[in-house]
A = this chain, B = another copy of it.
Amino acid sequence: MFETCVENVRNTVPLVHNITNYVTVNDVANVLLACGGSPIMSDDREEVEEITSLCSGLNINIGTLNHRTIPSMILAGKRANQLGHPVVLDPVGAGASRLRTETALSLMGEIRFTAVRGNISEIKTLAMGSGSTKGVDADVADAVTEENLDRAAAFLREFAKNTGCIAAATGAIDLVTDGAACYVIRNGRPEMGQVTGTGCQLSAVTAAYIAANPDNALEAAAAAVCLMGLAGEIAFNRMQEGDGNASYRNRIIDAICHIDGKTLAEGAKYEVR
């Protein structure tokens, strides 16, 4: 069924509206094109409602949030809700500052998100209302491991149930749940953490995947997470001597261009708990 998810994106070319940070925005645009979607970036409050109306999904990322764009996020999110478009939240750095935590919580309060994609520390912050995020990376103490996997899955399920969102916590092991089934995903490479923005890219791809598979949102989100991880694996195998994180970045996006339904179905490493 991941196969169908991939093909639906390539066949319908979902246009995704991104209100996102200026650090990784170019990669976000290129990865959306690579996976078969189409990007538009727009963050002025005067136009975000119109722009999101043209799209089939919305991706809100607070990586470089500021007072000009926060109201735009709210406006766009509410409009997307009215129109029944999927909306994804990437709560970058929630827990690292009061502004990030409060903005993420306020977005969660004002907008019905279809999915939240973050690292486990960011999602814990959303659950607890405060956190110990180390900058934009997960706190080591929070990391999902084989040892604490069941506990982490139970936590995430509870979060998903309470918020009504699909929750995707990505790291060494990725978890994606709607409160009932929980995908435990073991694609990816640790080296992806040395490339800025693979999380931001994944959030945008998740929006495209859900937009193209609206009746199958949980599976679409899990497919997106597997896709990103598999791309990291394929790209890693293509690394040449002397390549580093800049080339790896390009190779990951390149790999996504070439992943079709069959490749993902065969390469996805997951179990459903």
Interface residues in chain A, defined as those with a beta carbon under 8 Å from any beta carbon in chain B: 15, 21-27, 29-30, 33-34, 38-44, 46-47, 50-51, 54-55, 63-68, 93, 96-100, 134-137, 194-197, 234, 238, 242-247, 249-258
Given contacts A44-B65, A47-B100, 12 further A-B contacts (CB under 8 A): A30-B245, A33-B194, A34-B244, A34-B246, A40-B96, A43-B66, A46-B97, A244-B257, A244-B258, A245-B253, A246-B254, A249-B250
Report yes or no: A255 in contact with B251, Cβ–Cβ below 8 A: no
Report yes or no: A242 in contact with B238, Cβ–Cβ below 8 A: yes
Report yes or no: B27 in contact with A26, Cβ–Cβ below 8 A: yes
A40 CB contacts on chain B under 8 angstroms: 93, 96, 135-136
Distance A129 CA – B31 CA, assembled complex (angstroms): 33
Distance A26 CA – B135 CA, assembled complex (angstroms): 16
A100 CB contacts on chain B under 8 angstroms: 47
Select from chain B the residue with minimum beta-carbon distance to A52: B97
Q: Which of B25, B66, B197, B258 contacts A22 (CB 8 A)?
A: B25
Distance A120 CA – B34 CA, assembled complex (angstroms): 24
Give min CB distance, A172 to chain B, whole Å: 17
Give min CB distance, A63 to chain B, whole Å: 7
A47 CB contacts on chain B under 8 angstroms: 97-100
Report yes or no: A134 in contact with B244, Cβ–Cβ below 8 A: no
A44 CB contacts on chain B under 8 angstroms: 64-67, 99
Give min CB distance, A125 to chain B, whole Å: 14
A27 CB contacts on chain B under 8 angstroms: 26, 246
Distance A129 CA – B255 CA, assembled complex (angstroms): 41
Distance A193 CA – B25 CA, assembled complex (angstroms): 17
Give min CB distance, A76 to chain B, whole Å: 12
Give min CB distance, A189 to chain B, whole Å: 14
Select from chain B the residue with minimum beta-carbon distance to A29: B196
Given contacts A38-B137, A50-B97, A242-B254, contact A195 B30 (CB under 8 A): yes
Distance A68 CA – B66 CA, assembled complex (angstroms): 9
* Interchain residue pairs A-B with the least CB separation, the first 8: A244-B257, A244-B254, A246-B253, A29-B196, A47-B97, A47-B99, A246-B250, A44-B66
Report yes or no: A55 in contact with B135, Cβ–Cβ below 8 A: yes
